[in-house]
Structure 1
């Protein structure tokens, strides 16, 4: 590790030194110091350390390891090209500045030409994201367009004059054209590399491309000057070679340091690549320049006509490309943006920091009660509702905002550059009201509403696009759980991890409290037991009912420590009553046991440990399990529950009838109490059908030799009917509401009877 740090410092120093050399040469050149011979000598000499530096840094990538295997393989060929360039620069310095008798072709010329195939191969091997066969064909055609345009320019500047030059030997002509042809190959490689790049910034690759481009420009300028006036070292093309060489140094250094990030297809640039069309424009510009020397007839008009015709073809192709791009990012049913466009717009939103005092927002919208409409009235009705929702969303946003359909009945809206969160809420409320408008389909009037989740992006936001969408999604599901047809702003408390930590901290900090609801004998009205019901005394939100946090506890696993706290606190409290309240020694304590607690391997040890710790008698404890445990009990579950029963603890099936009510398992499980869900009690006093169903459930429980307890009794008539059916114990507001411990003590006046 220490050796790497030392090597990195040496490399940083060497790169900085190379920059100083280039800067010093620029001062020397722009200051017009020295005579022609001195300028030529200094120019030839300074090329050597720069070439030596980028060769050494390229070799470092190959030997010491680059970001990926593919990158190292590409840089192996690029480093070979660097070495050819180093040898060429050194040879040229000796031939031109030391010996002073350069011949054509010089030794350096062979090495300059050898630079091309190695660099071409290295550029072509540079890693890029995967593309389909059709994409690769289109990319190759675009690159060939670039090369064709470049060929026209090179033909005018170099190749044409070389070919028609009179008196030149064939071998000399072929060798003279080798470097321009090599430059065409490099242009092809650069075009392929630029066209296949994704939208992810790669600064090292950008510097490499710019450097090679500067070399190509310098080569073309060198050839042109050589044809016109002859070339001497220290002319302006050397500035391009020097700057290109320094960029090669930076590119090699940056490549070694950078970490590889695989390209993300979702972030690929969707815009049209203008490189082929720019090259066509350049080529026709050269043709137009040449046509000035021709008359209108015949070539001048033909060239102008060809330029106009090609321009119209390109314009039509651009229109088709734009149309295809719009189709690719548009939902065909609603005409809104699809998921791809929404993802792009969200990424663009978070990529640009919000202005101070301004904010943007992502809204996720889910239509409530859409599935029943689709299932009952068919897909035509469902499609009509979706199209109506799209119209409402379009009408409710500004032109600069984006509305889209993510799929099914889920929509998204991106609001940009609003003054504050209150403005976001006003727009959200307006959209929610617009989505409540009934939809008329023939004789049907279809009514839908929407749950909306809102995530705010402002100057303080530190999240990416995926996280922003996830925040809106969390807020949307929170709105749906809260009763639907409403909106919810995202807050950190909605995060499962944050809420879970907060709930666990509430257990530790003593913010949870128990309320107790007595159960009474239906024949005597005497209290037979109490059920412990948990509440959260939240410091900001007040007293929270279980519906506000139990689902979260079950989702995150916090229900296990929460359940243990309820059992311990309930046993401690009722044990104290049994010691100090007359007649309370025979009341029972009922505690709910979550499915996750039932699955705990140490359940029996935890329960018996709490009983021993609090001194509460096992025969007075009733553990209530849900039908999800009853439905598919495995052997280990049955064994654990059996072990609890063997210790004298009784087991009850809670909310019987709300699930699948797997009756066959009631014989396997060691349960002794059946609690009928309140939904079967609510209508027995005014609906004969509900009465018959309730009576059937009571008789079913009695047939299994179970004690039947009815929940949710709210009237005296309901209590009377249940007593006549054979139900022995009841709970509900008709008798007692859940109350805090100090109030529960006041109602424990009568002697409790054993259940």
Structure 2
């Protein structure tokens, strides 16, 4: 490609140096075109045969290929004329062949696929294209067509052909202007093709105008020939670029229309400028005054229309409540950001902002109070962001800020922190002082974000990570925060047996002889090592991966415990406690799943204790109560885990079939040193005894804490003082050699 371009560049060299006679220059011109046009036709054929090409686009390239082949034939015919004297010099066979190629170019450009448009949009774009063509038509009529028609004594064939050239150029203008205004999907390719056509029209018009207006003839090797050569090379570049594309490019660029929307007004200005030039020799009365008035009126109408368009545009992209931009404009800005390839030293980012504790304000004080908060948030955002940034409301209490052209990642983090601080400012609404905070996710445009959907997904993952880790701050996206990827990784961990169960003994503080253990899951990650539940359980709860994880843990714990019972008769009374997540409890097939696991492993139902979080106990629906009652009827014990860490609802302790209450470690810490803490822990124990529940104290770390619990009447406990969680083989050895006591459901 570049070799053929170098051959074509000899035309530029000839123009600069002025080398050779007219015949030599014409011969060099014809020879230089052959490699470029031939290669363009060959690559065009390869584009047509390209796999996966859209049917509409293939049809467009077939039409363009016909024009490429015609250009090869035209230049070959022109070259042959040097060796076949006596043939007509103008219009020659090559001129006719080249002219027949233009309608195929026009048709190919017009059928090239573009983004979806409504009927009204297509009508508006068609009118804009016709305005531009009408302006160009006026110019060509005055400068070319009119003088050609009036040439005295011109040969009819020469006259007809010479007049057809500007008409064909008008068709080219209509085709590539229409395509540019329609914002094609393959912008770079269409841009090169349009540039090629534009150079041809300029060269054609310059050549003809110089002849009919100024009686000047451009010899071969002059600058119009350089423009024709440049246009041919741009066509080659366009075909080569399309051949390199795997798909239809990077999508529609929303900013294109705004950059080319001035063209219809430019065409009107050209037409009036031409009319004024023609009327310059007329008297002010009557033609001059009428021309002046027409120009003023048209200018005022155009100004009014441009103002109306800007106002319509503003209304279309503005959120009426906050005055910020809306989702549509944010999407445009994100498309522009992701279309630009990442560059070192120049960063772009998006901030996704979600207000914390906004819904209670709406519920408690009404939507007017909520609207006041949203307007205050918008004002705070305007005060923080830079002039070139774009802030918008996506809907509800969710906002976004697009940050282009950042000098460093730290700049985005600084803006995010300032937003977090600004949004903590209370909002005054009447007699109320309303407080909100914001969780912000920050995502940078890099090689992994090829479109705005991925970029927003990264920001969304970072924002939810900020919410999970305490709200009221920002997080920057990294691979560890990719919820979907980590969810898939968690589910693969279940399939690949990467999870392991550790067991922690439960001790009878009064020296009983029954044994019990609590099953605790660990993740033996292939690269990060052994992970505790805190590193993945919250995410598993959020994504639903906790359901297969919970089933796996229950099956593995029952399988191991059943094996211990078979090998060691002294462990017949072994109880196993397994955590049951809130998501598992609401599964319709929960009872059937547990029954199948018990049947499969052979572990007795009356030796299994299921530990529920307070969120399940506090918000039970009828189906949940029914499932828990069914499990209890099977002999399975029901335990409330981490009691006291949520909002207590004591009535449910009697309504639900709860048998065990596990007192959270926060009640145990300090009972041996703080009388107040001791009194609270004792109250919890007495409460459980009043409901006839067994109490297990968690987090016992010292002998003095264990003594205090015995003193207040707590029977069972677990913690590092007795034993840490350990693998199955280790806990079996511990149970056999030392023994532990248990909870009796």
TM-score by length of 1: 0.77
Per the alignment, residue 377 of structure 2 pairs with: 389
Q: CA deviation at 1:617?
A: 4.4
Q: Secondary structure at the match of 1:711?
A: strand
Number of matched residues?
Answer: 691
- Distance in 2 between the 1:683 and 1:34 partners? 97
Question: Relative to 1, partners in 2 of residues 1:287 and 1:35: Cα closer, same or farther, differing over 3 Å?
Answer: same
Per the alignment, residue 196 of structure 1 pairs with: 182
Question: Relative to 1, partners in 2 of residues 1:65 and 1:467: Cα closer, same or farther, differing over 3 Å?
Answer: closer
Q: Indicate which of 684, 689, 710 corresponds to 1:723.
A: 689
- Distance in 2 between the 1:474 and 1:234 partners? 64
CA contact (8 A) 1:454 1:476 kept: yes
CA contact (8 A) 1:513 1:537 kept: no
Cα deviations by residue, 1:391-442 (Å, 9 ceiling, x for unpaired): 2222333433332211111112345666766665554344333323333334
CA contact (8 A) 2:441 2:466 kept: yes
Q: Secondary structure at the match of 1:241?
A: helix
- Distance in 2 between the 1:448 and 1:374 partners? 12
Q: CA deviation at 1:36?
A: 3.0
Cα deviations by residue, 1:208-247 (Å, 9 ceiling, x for unpaired): 2222222222332343345354757615333333332233
Per the alignment, residue 738 of structure 1 pairs with: 719
CA contact (8 A) 1:604 1:644 kept: no
Q: CA deviation at 1:22?
A: 1.2
Q: Name the stretch that deviates more: 69-78 or 726-735.
A: 726-735
1:94-173 aligned within 5 A? 94=80, 98-102=84-88, 105-168=91-154, 173=159
Q: CA deviation at 1:125?
A: 1.5
CA contact (8 A) 1:451 1:487 kept: yes
Question: Relative to 1, partners in 2 of residues 1:301 and 1:674: Cα closer, same or farther, differing over 3 Å?
Answer: same
Q: Secondary structure at the match of 1:652?
A: strand
Per the alignment, residue 665 of structure 1 pairs with: 627
Per the alignment, residue 208 of structure 1 pairs with: 193
Q: CA deviation at 1:19?
A: 2.0
Cα deviations by residue, 1:149-191 (Å, 9 ceiling, x for unpaired): 1111111221111233345576764443222212211211111
Per the alignment, residue 7 of structure 1 pairs with: none
Cα deviations by residue, 1:48-102 (Å, 9 ceiling, x for unpaired): 5554443444344445668433233112222222333344444445557632452
CA contact (8 A) 1:474 1:490 kept: yes
Q: Secondary structure at the match of 1:254?
A: helix
Question: Relative to 1, partners in 2 of residues 1:277 and 1:750: Cα closer, same or farther, differing over 3 Å?
Answer: same
- Distance in 2 between the 1:103 and 1:543 partners? 86
Cα deviations by residue, 1:596-624 (Å, 9 ceiling, x for unpaired): 656x7x99767756877999946414243
CA contact (8 A) 2:547 2:584 kept: no
Determine whether 1:377 maps to 2:341.
Answer: no
- Distance in 1 between the 2:243 and 2:9 partners? 24
1:251-650 aligned within 5 A? 251-261=238-248, 264-265=251-252, 267=254, 269=256, 271-273=258-260, 274-349=262-337, 361-415=349-403, 424-425=412-413, 427-455=415-443, 465-496=452-483, 497=485, 516=504, 518=506, 520=508, 529-533=516-520, 546-553=533-540, 594-595=550-551, 597=553, 617=571, 619-624=573-578, 626=580, 628-631=583-586, 632-633=588-589, 636-643=592-599, 646-648=602-604, 650=607
- Distance in 1 between the 2:743 and 2:433 partners? 57
Q: Name the stretch that deviates more: 660-669 or 744-753.
A: 744-753
Q: Secondary structure at the match of 2:663?
A: coil
- Distance in 2 between the 1:542 and 1:99 partners? 86
Q: CA deviation at 1:306?
A: 3.5
Cα deviations by residue, 1:93-135 (Å, 9 ceiling, x for unpaired): 5557632452665444433432232222122121211211111
Alpha carbon RMSD of aligned pairs, Å?
4.6
Per the alignment, residue 566 of structure 1 pairs with: none
TM-score by length of 2: 0.78
Gaps of 5+ in 1: 1-14, 564-593, 685-689, 702-707
Q: Secondary structure at the match of 1:34?
A: coil
Q: Secondary structure at the match of 1:333?
A: coil
- Distance in 2 between the 1:754 and 1:26 partners? 95
